[in-house]
Structure 1
Amino acid sequence: MTLDQTRADQFSLQRRKSGGGTARLSGWGFANETDPLSDVLLGSPAHLRHLATSSLSRKHLREAPCNIQVAQAQHAELVAAYEHFGVKVHMHQPHPELPMQVYARDSSVMTPYGAIITAMAQWWRRGENYAAIRSYESLGIPIYDMVTAGTFEGGDFNVIEDGCVLIGCGSARTQEEGARQVQSWFEAEGWETRLAFIDEYYVHIDLMVVPVAEKLTAVCLDCTEPGIVDWLKAKGHEIIDVPFKDTMALGCNFMSLGRGKVIAPTASKTLIDQLRARGFEVAVVDTQEISKTGGGIHCMAQALRRVAASACSTITACPVGSWLTIRQRPRGGNL
């Protein structure tokens, strides 16, 4: 790495070049959402509360509120899954005033050029954006830019493949003004962008569309606009259909680790079977209780660094089928 590259990766509050031409980071970031994951940013559930953040979370709050202790234990299992697969876990500093900080994808977006600080829609979450700036500063990751034109949340920034992003816009959480601001930045960088106008009931685009591997994407066909599906297929993507019932239980909200490995919730019954039939190793984590508060595995994770498959020898490999054995060991032991 040259001295100029090192300086380019140092923390700053705005790295984006007006008009495009921003250089990609050399140490952090990623080209797509499916290359091998080496570093992930998570939020602590230490101060988690069940709030009415969406129609689904409001329904659970009314009928069967989240058991916070169980949710915290489920999050610990999720952390253990990442660590088992050799992913380095970075955590936001928890704050009692930020009860939804566990959903680390919403307050920021990591890109090949640095992090985007978003603009949260709900007043009780806006402090998460400031906490995210501190996290990136502590890690030495520069800020690409900050959304200012309207609300915008990270679950609506969906990198389909290198140089191509799908941006969700559902009014309740991400406004069209915020979505178009981010769209303009990436079009200036030479990216293909597509806006997905979704019903606010679905909250974010990553409830229904999440990449699994190169040219393989999980999609809930029952609630995704046919034009988006046709667009993906035109790019050569094979679609794994996730049923509506599974999707409403956050079953299409999983995390690709690259190299044929995925962390998925128990609600992903159809998807898990489909992936295993294709030879994927799937770590299944029960997130049912924590998801009552409004999000899934993908919502809880912000990929900080993915490396090209040819350069991923430093990521620990795990034998296929080993996860069930590992997760039964007492916590605190060596993975």
Structure 2
Amino acid sequence: MTELPPRFRVASETGRLREVLLCPPDHYRWIPTNSIVRRTLAEGAQAPAPHHLAAQHGELVDALRQAGVTVHLIRPEPHLPYMAYTRDSVVVTHRGPVLCQLERPQRRGEYAPLLDWHGEQGSAFWRKSSVGTLEGGDIHIIRNGLAVIGASGGRTDEAGAAQFADWLRGEGWEVRVEPFDEHFLHLDVLFCMAAPGLAVACEDVLDPGFLAWLRVHGIRTIPVPYRDAMALGCNILAVGGDRVISARGSAGVNAALRAEGLEVLDPALSLFTQGGGGPHCLTCPLLRDD
């Protein structure tokens, strides 16, 4: 009997994005659970107003739709303020969704609405994380057969990364588990794919061995300074077709991406980047072209 393909599948970070899952920021607020938002609060920034959050999130939705992406919205839960960062709870692979295991107590409950939503969509989970911790912001499916998983020991630990890596290796993939300092929250604060063979990377921080590994696999990097990386400059979303979504505040990165011939869609997202997440964090790709 022929096995049916999964409802949702993603085999790269750069294939044409067809469907994506977002969560409206109805209950979003800054909570001091990462170094970025702690700095924001220490600098005396005012808590974001709900209508301003909704307006910025709406710009992201508009940018995705402009790129021809179907946007799905999951209902936000009042007790889960960071549910807006849909990247972390579930990561979709070439075999379908994988349920992650979030590290922060304030976020662990996100698994429940995601299980329900995928069930309603007829989207069966391929795997469920059951060892250590694993978060989607640390998982980068570079291209079909090649992936890197960040393991800071914080949001994703070595055990969680190893379990996910073993699942992909069992499929014949090459997977690198990359350690980094948990100060940087997730690997997507330091690194994201922009287009096939092109990434943005905080070269000042990332291990030279990782940068060399990327070059061996034919991936060039646009360098992003530490200060810009901590403002979520590396946190971009490739949507395929030589288009990328990057926050409007990332002026230097956006100029460099445009110099590479990419079209940059740049919604204003400062209220989310100040909380520790940009376009990559705010989106869970569900379906990309192979």
Tell me, yes or no, whether TM beats 0.5.
yes
Aligned residues of 1:43 and 1:91 also touching (Cα < 8 A)? yes
Q: What is the aligned partner in structure 1 of residue 57 from structure 2?
A: 75
Q: 1:173 is matched with which residue: 132, 155, 160? A: 155
Percent identity, aligned pairs only, is 36
- Give SS of 1:101's match: helix
**How far is the alpha carbon of 1:235 from its aligned partner?**
0.8
Q: How do 1:1-335 residues align onto structure 2 when only pairs under 5 Å count?
A: 4-5=2-3, 8-9=4-5, 25=6, 27-63=7-43, 64-69=45-50, 70-308=52-290
The one-letter amino acid of 1:59's match is R
Q: SS of 2:150's equivalent?
A: strand
The CA distance in 2 between the partners of 1:37 and 1:225, in whole Å, is 30
Q: Give the paired residue count.
A: 288
Hey, what's the Cα distance between the residues in 1 that align with 2:236 and 2:190? 10
Asked if the contact 1:41–1:304 (Cα under 8 Å) also holds between the matched residues in 2, the reply is: yes
Rounded to whole Å, the distance in 2 between the matches of 1:66 and 1:266 is 20
Report the AA paired with residue 240 of structure 1.
I
**Alpha carbons 1:40, 1:305 under 8 Å: kept:** yes
Q: Structure 1 residues 52 and 80, CA, compared in 2 at 3 Å: closer, same or farther? A: same
Contact 1:72–1:290, Cα closer than 8 Å, also in 2: no
Give the CA deviation at 1:61.
2.1
Query: Is the CA contact 2:8–2:97 (under 8 Å) kept in the aligned structure 1?
Result: no
Cα distance, 1:145 vs structure 2 = 1.0
* Structure 2 Cα separation of the partners of residues 178 and 304 of structure 1: 22
Deviation, 1:268, is: 2.2
Task: Give the letter aligned to residue 289 of structure 2.
Answer: V
Counterpart residue identity of residue 66, structure 1: A
Secondary structure (helix, strand or coil) at the match of 2:106 reads helix
CA contact (8 A) 1:108 1:117 kept: yes
Structure 1 residue 51 displacement after superposition? 0.5
Greater shift after overlay, 285-294 or 186-195? 285-294
CA distance in 1, matches of 2:258, 2:130: 42
Per-residue deviation at 1:68? 3.2
Is the contact between residue 264 and residue 283 of structure 1 (CA under 8 Å) also seen in structure 2?
yes
SS of residue in 2 equivalent to 1:137: helix
| Structure 1 stretches of 4+ moved >4 Å | none
TM-score by length of 1: 0.83
How far the C-alpha of 1:28 sits from its partner, in A, is 2.4
Which is greater in Rg? 1
What is the aligned-residue RMSD (CA, Å)? Answer: 1.4
SS at 2:165's partner residue?
A: helix
Distance (whole Å) between structure 2 residues aligned to residue 48 and residue 68 of structure 1 = 10
Once the two structures are superposed, residues 276-317 of structure 1 have per-residue CA deviations (whole angstroms, 9 ceiling, x without a partner) of 122211111111112222211100111101114xxxxxxxxx
Distance 1:286 1:222 in 2: 26
Contact 1:93 1:135 in 2 (8 A): no
State the Cα distance separating 1:221 from its structure 2 match: 0.4
| Secondary structure in 1 matching 2:200 | strand
Deviations 1:177-225 (A, max 9, x none): 1111111111111110101101000011111111111111111101111
AA in 1 matched with 2:39: K
Task: List gaps (5 residues or longer) in structure 2.
Answer: none
Letter in 2 for 1:115: P
Structure 1: which amino acid aligns with 2:155?
R
Q: Secondary structure at the match of 1:158?
A: strand
Tell whether the 8 Å contact from 2:10 to 2:96 is kept in structure 1 after alignment: no
Q: Deviations over 1:107-127 (max 9, x none)?
A: 111101011111111111111
